[in-house]
Amino acid sequence: MSGLKGQLTYAAYAAGWGAVKKLPEPVAVRLGRTIADIAWKRRGKGVRRLESNYARVLPDASPERLTELSRAGMRSYLRYWMESFRLPAWSRERIKDGFDVKDVHHLTDGLAAGKGVILALPHLANWDLAGAWVTTKLDTPFTTVAERLEPAKLYDRFVAYRESLGMEVLPHSGGTAFGTLARRLRDGGLVCLVAERDLSASGVEVKFFGDATRMPAGPALLAQQTGALLLPVTLWYDDSPVMRGRVHPPVDVPESGSRAEKTSVMTQALADAFATGIADHPEDWHMLQRLWLADLEPRSGPAEGEQP
């Protein structure tokens, strides 16, 4: 059954890449909204978890408000997928015009200084589109990591997709990614990491919307080890076809303290920046998995499945 499930999952994604990118954009938008509404009405595990996570972001929200928000969240999530399936078919001009970002000077100034830049993002809106904009509009390649997915051919498909957008993709597992990322940064390159959910269960504990969770230590450690600039980025949608975003001010390396203490302070600063963006646009936060430590169930097997 596990093998069959993997084959069906791959077939669904392959159909999306093959068919959705051929649709006229208005048709793809309507299709995404229809699928989102069907999934929302069924109230499966992912929808219920999304609603539970929104309750932590907005603790004073009424049940009616959370229900409304989860519907908007699923529509935003399916907009992400419709865009991602279609991105390889977008023209360079469509990609350039599809993203509007505030305070991008933090990024461009850092790259011009030649010291390397780390962009750290939560699962807000469409980071693939933001990445394609960086490689197209700024003509800047970058390196990222991806969690291995099952079946393996699905992981290979995602890697090929992101490489087609100008990204260098490293596997999350295997222990070699950190060293490669550090070399890219020392050479003055750009690294982009989705960084609000720890996959190893050994990340840095932070306060996030008032409760404890763990976030990856990698961005802070890379900044300390290489001298690269660490920049939080948040993204959101509005009613237009253009995604919006903001590059936040740099997270500085503390002048004193042990490496662990510095990493803790820096990761908390990332969490605070992410929380600002999520609180402003909660419906665009696509967190359909458990995140807070109080919600995690003890387990000995693999972590709950991560969205790509």
- Of 51, 168, 196, 283, the active-site residue reads 196
Q: Judge whether 106 counts as a catalytic residue.
A: no
Cis preceding-peptide flag for 151 (omega within 30 of 0): yes
Closest CA to 243 of 135, 97, 61: 97
Burial class (CB in 10 A: 0-12, 13-18, 19+), 277: buried
- Of 51, 83, 106, 123, the active-site residue reads 123
Strand (E) positions, 174-289? 190-194, 204-208, 211-215, 229-237, 243-247
Q: Give Dmax (Cα) for the chain.
A: 55
Q: Judge whether 196 counts as a catalytic residue.
A: yes
CB 166 within 8 A of CB 136: yes
Q: How far apart are CA 2 and CA 274, in angstroms?
A: 35
Per DSSP bridges, beta strands 167-171 and 99-102 are unpaired
Report CA-CA distances (Å) from 70 to 66, 79, 291. 6, 14, 16
Which residues form the catalytic set? 123, 196
